[in-house]
Amino acid sequence: MIEDIRKLKITDVHTHIYPGKIAEKATASVGQFYNIGMNRIGFPHTLVESGEKIGVSKYLVCSVATKPEQSHSINDFIFDKCKKYPQFLGLGALHPEQTDWENEIERIVEMGLRGVKYHPDFQKFNIDDPNMIPVYRKIRDAGLIILFHMGDDRYDFSAPQRLYNVMQQIPDLVCIAAHFGGYQRWSDAAKYLLCDNIHFDTSSSLWKLTPDEAAGLIHHFGADNVLFGTDFPMWDHEQELNRFLKLNLADEENDKILYRNFERLFGVSV
């Protein structure tokens, strides 16, 4: 049950939104990829409606470019929705095969977006591909973060050791390793990803991990480095908050994960 003892401040560091004309198709495609039923559609307004049920005040929103030519229009869309919804902070989209990535990173900065989202399993590239290292350095130099989908055990593109390899080359790259650093590869995440500047989100993991396992990962990585995320429209906010609160963390840890770490990472107040 969502606690009513005290008023929680809540942010969501991992959400997906899509333009209206493709939202249903895009949402269904994600569900098919993971073989998970999708009962929500990734419209911006449905994200806000879901989050309002638990009092979410800030959302980090993104969409993934599955083709190089998509990134420009996706970034325009995210920028427009961040203007419309003041509670949104946006991540830009880049594709590993696009050739104009330097110009697009500059555009992402000009639009005030906060970073870049990569989904190596959708985009079919290894996180530690040598061709990506200059891109990551440009992202770092631009003062942006990277949100990486991590660790699907059906593929090797996003294996935790690959992010470790990147961090050995660019230790000051600031990133969020989604899904506790390794969707269904949590033991590898715990082994490889205790690195400076790697943060973690709780998204698409609490349904699979036991409360003890999830709390153990939080204590292993440190509550200062973990942020609450839902992966909406994969999951809704009431569902994910209920799962999170079953971890029975201390109030101070809850506050760090639910909003304080978000405030610190993005320089906002909620």
| Contacts of 46 by beta carbon, 8 Å cutoff, 6+ apart | 40, 233
Q: Does residue 187 lie within any of the structural domains? A: yes
In a domain, 48, yes or no: yes
pLDDT in tens, 111-128: 999 999 999 999 999 999
CA dihedral 108, 88, 242, 209 (to 10 degrees): 0
pLDDT digits (tens, 9 = 90+) for 215-251: 999 999 999 999 999 999 999 999 999 999 999 999 9
211 domain-assigned: yes
For 190, residues 6+ apart whose C-beta sits below 8 A from its C-beta are 181, 217, 220, 221
Would you say the pTM of this structure is higher than 0.75? yes
Long-range contacts of 71-74, Cβ-Cβ distance < 8 Å, separation of 24 or more: 71/95, 71/98, 71/104, 72/104, 72/107
6, part of any domain:
no
In 3D space, the residue among 47, 49, 72 whose CA is nearest the CA of residue 61 turns out to be: 47
Report pLDDT for 18: 95
Residue 138 maps to a domain? yes
Is residue 2 in some structural domain?
no
Residue 199: inside a domain: yes
pLDDT beneath 50, residues of the chain: 5
State how many domains the chain has: 1
Is 5 contained in some domain?
A: no
In sequence order, the β-bridge partners of residue 148 are: 118, 177
CATH assignment of the domain containing 44: 3.20.20.140
d(CA 55, CA 157): 35
How many whole angstroms separate alpha carbon 32 and alpha carbon 269?
37
Q: Which runs of E-coded beta strand occur in 17-105?
A: 56-62, 88-90, 92-93
- Domain span at residue 82 reads 12-266
